Protein backbone atom coordinates (compact mmCIF):
# COMPACT_ATOMS: atom_id res chain seq x y z
CA UNK A 1 0.00 0.00 0.00
CA UNK A 2 2.91 2.35 0.75
CA UNK A 3 4.39 1.85 -2.67
CA UNK A 4 1.04 2.88 -4.21
CA UNK A 5 1.01 6.11 -2.17
CA UNK A 6 4.62 6.78 -3.12
CA UNK A 7 3.82 6.19 -6.77
CA UNK A 8 0.84 8.57 -6.64
CA UNK A 9 2.97 11.23 -4.91
CA UNK A 10 5.73 10.95 -7.52
CA UNK A 11 3.15 11.04 -10.31
CA UNK A 12 1.49 14.12 -8.82
CA UNK A 13 4.84 15.91 -8.63
CA UNK A 14 5.89 14.85 -12.12
CA UNK A 15 2.69 15.83 -13.94
CA UNK A 16 2.91 19.60 -13.46
CA UNK A 17 6.56 19.60 -14.51
CA UNK A 18 5.81 17.70 -17.69
CA UNK A 19 2.78 19.87 -18.39
CA UNK A 20 4.99 22.96 -18.25
CA UNK A 21 7.71 21.49 -20.47
CA UNK A 22 8.19 23.37 -23.71
CA UNK A 23 8.55 21.57 -27.01
CA UNK A 24 10.46 22.67 -30.10
CA UNK A 25 7.20 22.79 -32.06
CA UNK A 26 5.55 25.13 -29.53
CA UNK A 27 8.38 27.64 -29.86
CA UNK A 28 8.70 27.14 -33.62
CA UNK A 29 5.04 28.11 -34.16
CA UNK A 30 5.72 31.58 -32.75
CA UNK A 31 8.72 32.40 -34.95
CA UNK A 32 9.38 32.26 -38.67
CA UNK A 33 12.31 31.35 -40.83
CA UNK A 34 14.37 34.43 -41.68
CA UNK A 35 15.12 33.18 -45.20
CA UNK A 36 11.73 31.98 -46.45
CA UNK A 37 9.37 33.75 -43.97
CA UNK A 38 7.33 30.60 -43.37
CA UNK A 39 6.52 29.43 -39.85
CA UNK A 40 9.58 27.74 -38.42
CA UNK A 41 7.67 24.57 -37.53
CA UNK A 42 7.01 23.87 -41.25
CA UNK A 43 10.17 25.29 -42.81
CA UNK A 44 12.91 22.95 -43.99
CA UNK A 45 15.44 25.64 -44.93
CA UNK A 46 18.97 25.11 -43.58
CA UNK A 47 18.66 28.16 -41.31
CA UNK A 48 15.33 26.85 -39.99
CA UNK A 49 16.89 23.49 -39.15
CA UNK A 50 19.70 25.26 -37.28
CA UNK A 51 17.16 27.36 -35.40
CA UNK A 52 15.20 24.24 -34.40
CA UNK A 53 18.40 22.68 -33.12
CA UNK A 54 19.14 25.87 -31.15
CA UNK A 55 15.63 25.73 -29.66
CA UNK A 56 16.09 22.09 -28.65
CA UNK A 57 19.41 22.92 -26.96
CA UNK A 58 17.86 25.83 -25.06
CA UNK A 59 14.94 23.64 -23.94
CA UNK A 60 17.42 21.03 -22.68
CA UNK A 61 19.15 23.80 -20.70
CA UNK A 62 15.80 24.60 -19.06
CA UNK A 63 15.01 27.93 -20.74
CA UNK A 64 11.40 29.04 -20.96
CA UNK A 65 9.58 29.60 -24.22
CA UNK A 66 9.84 33.39 -23.88
CA UNK A 67 13.56 33.24 -23.10
CA UNK A 68 14.15 31.21 -26.26
CA UNK A 69 12.05 33.58 -28.37
CA UNK A 70 13.88 36.58 -26.90
CA UNK A 71 17.22 34.97 -27.82
CA UNK A 72 16.03 34.39 -31.40
CA UNK A 73 14.81 37.99 -31.66
CA UNK A 74 18.18 39.18 -30.36
CA UNK A 75 19.96 37.09 -32.99
CA UNK A 76 17.70 37.68 -36.02
CA UNK A 77 15.74 40.82 -35.14
CA UNK A 78 12.01 41.34 -34.50
CA UNK A 79 11.12 40.26 -38.05
CA UNK A 80 11.62 36.65 -36.92
CA UNK A 81 8.41 36.84 -34.86
CA UNK A 82 5.43 35.19 -36.53
CA UNK A 83 3.11 37.74 -34.94
CA UNK A 84 4.20 41.37 -34.60
CA UNK A 85 4.45 42.75 -31.06
CA UNK A 86 1.56 44.91 -29.85
CA UNK A 87 3.70 47.96 -29.24
CA UNK A 88 5.30 50.86 -31.11
CA UNK A 89 5.04 50.98 -34.89
CA UNK A 90 4.08 47.28 -34.99
CA UNK A 91 0.85 48.20 -33.23
CA UNK A 92 -0.37 49.43 -36.63
CA UNK A 93 -0.39 45.82 -37.85
CA UNK A 94 -3.07 45.17 -35.23
CA UNK A 95 -5.01 48.44 -35.50
CA UNK A 96 -5.29 49.00 -39.26
CA UNK A 97 -7.34 45.83 -39.97
CA UNK A 98 -9.59 46.59 -37.02
CA UNK A 99 -10.19 50.17 -38.19
CA UNK A 100 -10.82 48.93 -41.75
CA UNK A 101 -13.47 46.48 -40.53
CA UNK A 102 -15.20 49.12 -38.39
CA UNK A 103 -15.22 51.66 -41.25
CA UNK A 104 -16.48 49.00 -43.65
CA UNK A 105 -19.33 48.08 -41.31
CA UNK A 106 -20.25 51.74 -40.95
CA UNK A 107 -20.35 52.19 -44.74
CA UNK A 108 -22.77 49.31 -45.35
CA UNK A 109 -25.95 51.21 -44.29
CA UNK A 110 -24.87 54.24 -46.33
CA UNK A 111 -24.33 52.11 -49.44
CA UNK A 112 -27.67 50.34 -48.99
CA UNK A 113 -29.50 53.69 -48.79
CA UNK A 114 -27.69 54.94 -51.88
CA UNK A 115 -28.56 51.81 -53.86
CA UNK A 116 -32.21 52.03 -52.80
CA UNK A 117 -32.44 55.60 -54.08
CA UNK A 118 -30.93 54.58 -57.41
CA UNK A 119 -33.17 51.55 -57.96
CA UNK A 120 -35.73 51.90 -60.73
CA UNK A 121 -39.24 52.65 -59.58
CA UNK A 122 -41.89 50.01 -59.93
CA UNK A 123 -44.24 52.39 -61.77
CA UNK A 124 -44.59 51.75 -65.50
CA UNK A 125 -42.81 54.24 -67.71
CA UNK A 126 -45.38 56.17 -69.76
CA UNK A 127 -44.07 57.40 -73.03
CA UNK A 128 -45.47 60.19 -75.12
CA UNK A 129 -47.27 58.25 -77.80
CA UNK A 130 -49.39 60.25 -80.19
CA UNK A 131 -52.94 59.19 -81.10
CA UNK A 132 -51.74 58.57 -84.69
CA UNK A 133 -49.07 56.11 -83.49
CA UNK A 134 -51.59 54.31 -81.29
CA UNK A 135 -53.98 53.96 -84.21
CA UNK A 136 -51.23 52.57 -86.48
CA UNK A 137 -50.23 50.09 -83.72
CA UNK A 138 -53.83 48.90 -83.32
CA UNK A 139 -54.17 48.49 -87.07
CA UNK A 140 -50.93 46.49 -87.26
CA UNK A 141 -51.97 44.22 -84.39
CA UNK A 142 -55.39 43.65 -85.98
CA UNK A 143 -53.81 42.72 -89.32
CA UNK A 144 -51.40 40.26 -87.72
CA UNK A 145 -54.10 38.58 -85.68
CA UNK A 146 -56.34 38.15 -88.76
CA UNK A 147 -53.72 36.90 -91.10
Q: pLDDT digits over 75-92, tens only? A: 888 888 887 766 677 677
The third-level CATH classification (topology) of the domain covering 22-81 is: Helicase, Ruva Protein; domain 3 (1.10.8)
pTM above 0.75, yes or no: no
Domain boundaries along the sequence of the chain: 22-81, 85-112
User: How many CB atoms are closer than 10 A to CB 90?
Assistant: 13
The per-residue b/e assignment along 24-50, b for 16 or more CB within 10 angstroms, e otherwise, is beebbebbbbbeeeeebbebeeeebee
pLDDT at 19: 44
- Listed in sequence order, the residues at least 6 apart from 72 whose beta carbon sits closer than 8 Å to its beta carbon are 31, 51, 54, 55, 80
Amino acid sequence: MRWLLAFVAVLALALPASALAVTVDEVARDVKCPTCSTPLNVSEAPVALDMKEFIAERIAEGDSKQEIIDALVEEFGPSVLAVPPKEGFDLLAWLVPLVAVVVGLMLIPLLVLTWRRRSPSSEPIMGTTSPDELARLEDELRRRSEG
